[in-house]
């Protein structure tokens, strides 16, 4: 029987070993996760994503230091890609995190993506749960260097920070769908370099363009209402984020009772290697957390997150149960009929479902 006490009391060796077991889908992990799940839900889960070389690891290093100075404990999960050919990986994120060693309030873990394509590993969400249960105030998840479509992080985190660096593209790049859409905060890192101002300008302009009315993202419930913003000038809430954090009029039609706030991602600037801009970044992160809690957005995101996870697990167990009932032979026979073009995959699935129900 799994004893959750070492994890809950901060035994680092037990924590590290359990993470390995989760990565390997070992039987102990299946015992541990149900025992730890009731202890989750307290940490602020922050995703850090952006293109390779934009400075994710350096920013995580500096952000972790800033969080520690503010008295908060930090766990870091840094994901790097696995080779599609050998399954091996070089996990190099610790190179930039050397300032963090020797502090019992920090725990850093590198993960290989092991074939997942969304920017995280399959086990990342469960590893984050364990770190949450272990009592860290903040869990920072650094994704694989992301291109345009590695958006899984938005489903796993409360707050998604997208990092850009100067000189990575024109203003059309900035209005494309994908990565920029899932950003709760946008950060132009390396802001001391030429082109930083125009990168900030392009991102801000894209935010003006790309927030159509009533946009609901099915997977994460990002919920913004741009037209009303223009119709009703809104009072500023926080001094640092005047333009970006706004209140909808209480009389707004259609808006649910909890939906009083909406969030337009602020565009921040940092120089991670010099620690510049991090007080502002911390303030914006706290602002976003407050927004999630007061607006009802947190519940909405939890709902979409767990709907997704629950349905995925349900698919796994139902498929396994169906296989167990019908036997592998039925699947093989059906597969052969599909390949011979005697039946299409959808009809084949329906036929098997019919058999499961009558067996």
Partner 1 sequence: MADTQSKIRVLVAKPGLDGHDRGAKIIARALRDAGMEVIYTGLRQTPEMVAEAALQEDVDVVGLSILSGAHMALVPKILELMRANGQSDVPLFLGGIVPDEDLAPLKAMGVTGVFGPGANTEAIIQAVREAVKSA
Binding site for partner 1 (CB under 8 A): 12-13, 16-17, 19-20, 23-26, 82-83, 86-92, 94-95, 98, 101-102, 107-110, 112, 114-115, 122
CA distance 175 to 191: 21
- The distance of Cα 359 from the centroid of its chain, to the nearest Å, equals 41
Closest separation in Å from C-beta 113 to partner 1: 10
Instruction: Identify which of residues 170 and 316 has a Cβ nearer to partner 1 in the complex.
Output: 316
CA distance 74 to 161: 16
Residue 107, token pair as written in the block: 């725990």
Are 271 and 192 contacting, i.e. CB atoms less than 8 angstroms apart? yes
Are 56 and 163 contacting, i.e. CB atoms less than 8 angstroms apart? yes
Instruction: Identify which of residues 34 and 41 has a Cβ nearer to partner 1 in the complex.
Output: 34
Closest separation in Å from C-beta 28 to partner 1: 12
Instruction: Identify which of residues 17 and 226 has a Cβ nearer to partner 1 in the complex.
Output: 17
Are 292 and 258 contacting, i.e. CB atoms less than 8 angstroms apart? no
CA distance 49 to 19: 22
Instruction: Identify which of residues 96 and 305 has a Cβ nearer to partner 1 in the complex.
Output: 96
Instruction: Identify which of residues 106 and 183 has a Cβ nearer to partner 1 in the complex.
Output: 106
C-alpha separations of 89 from 98, 277, 309 in Å:
20, 32, 27
Query: Among 78, 49, 47, which Cα is nearest to 146's?
Result: 49
C-alpha separations of 91 from 104, 109, 125, 150, 183 in Å:
22, 10, 19, 18, 25
Closest separation in Å from C-beta 52 to partner 1: 16
Q: Residue 348: CA atoms inside 13 Å, Cβ hemisphere, count?
A: 16
Are 68 and 106 contacting, i.e. CB atoms less than 8 angstroms apart? yes
Instruction: List all residues 6 or more positions away from 306 whose beta carbon is below 8 Å from its beta carbon.
Output: none
CA distance 39 to 130: 9
Instruction: Identify which of residues 66 and 82 has a Cβ nearer to partner 1 in the complex.
Output: 82
Instruction: Identify which of residues 34 and 212 has a Cβ nearer to partner 1 in the complex.
Output: 34
Instruction: Identify which of residues 95 and 177 has a Cβ nearer to partner 1 in the complex.
Output: 95
Residue 25, token pair as written in the block: 């889908």
Indicate the pairing of strand 159-164 with strand 74-80: unpaired
Q: What is the DSSP letter of 254?
A: S
Closest separation in Å from C-beta 121 to partner 1: 9
Q: Phi/psi at 338 (nearest 5 deg)?
A: -65, -45
Instruction: Identify which of residues 12 and 242 has a Cβ nearer to partner 1 in the complex.
Output: 12
SS3 (DSSP) at 353: helix
């Amino acid at each position: 029987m799994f004893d959750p006490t070492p994890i809950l009391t901060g035994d680092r060796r037990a924590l590290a070993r359990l993470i390995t077991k989760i990565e390997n889908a070992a039987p102990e992990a299946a015992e541990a996760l149900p025992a730890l799940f009731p202890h989750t839900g307290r940490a602020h889960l922050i995703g850090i994503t952006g293109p390779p070389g934009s400075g994710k690891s350096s920013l995580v290093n500096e952000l972790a230091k800033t969080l520690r100075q503010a008295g908060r404990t930090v766990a870091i999960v840094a994901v790097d890609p696995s080779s599609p050919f050998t399954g091996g990986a070089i996990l190099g994120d610790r190179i930039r995190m050397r300032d963090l060693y020797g502090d019992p309030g920090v725990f850093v873990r590198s993960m290989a993506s092991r074939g997942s394509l969304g920017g995280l590993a399959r086990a990342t969400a469960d590893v984050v749960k364990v770190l949450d249960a272990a009592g860290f105030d903040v869990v920072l998840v650094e994704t694989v260097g992301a291109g345009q479509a590695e958006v899984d992080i938005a489903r796993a985190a409360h707050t998604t920070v997208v990092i850009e660096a100067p000189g990575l593209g024109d203003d059309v790049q900035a209005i494309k769908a994908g990565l920029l859409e899932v950003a709760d905060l946008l950060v132009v890192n390396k802001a001391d370099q030429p082109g930083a101002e125009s990168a900030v300008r392009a991102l801000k302009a894209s935010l003006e363009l790309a927030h159509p009315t009533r946009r609901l993202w099915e997977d994460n419930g990002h919920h913004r209402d741009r037209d009303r913003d223009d119709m009703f000038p809104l009072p500023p809430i926080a001094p640092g984020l005047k333009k970006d954090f706004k209140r909808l009029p209480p009389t707004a039609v259609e808006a649910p009772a909890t939906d009083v706030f909406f969030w337009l991602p602020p565009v921040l600037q940092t120089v991670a290697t010099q620690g510049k801009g991090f007080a502002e970044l911390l303030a914006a992160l706290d602002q976003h957390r407050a927004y999630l809690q007061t607006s009802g957005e947190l519940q909405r995101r939890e709902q979409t997150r767990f709907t997704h996870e629950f349905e995925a697990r349900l698919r796994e167990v139902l498929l396994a149960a169906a296989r167990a009932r019908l036997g592998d032979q039925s699947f093989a026979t059906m597969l052969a009929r599909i390949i011979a073009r005697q039946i299409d995959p959808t009809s084949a699935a329906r036929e098997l479902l019919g058999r499961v129900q009558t067996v």
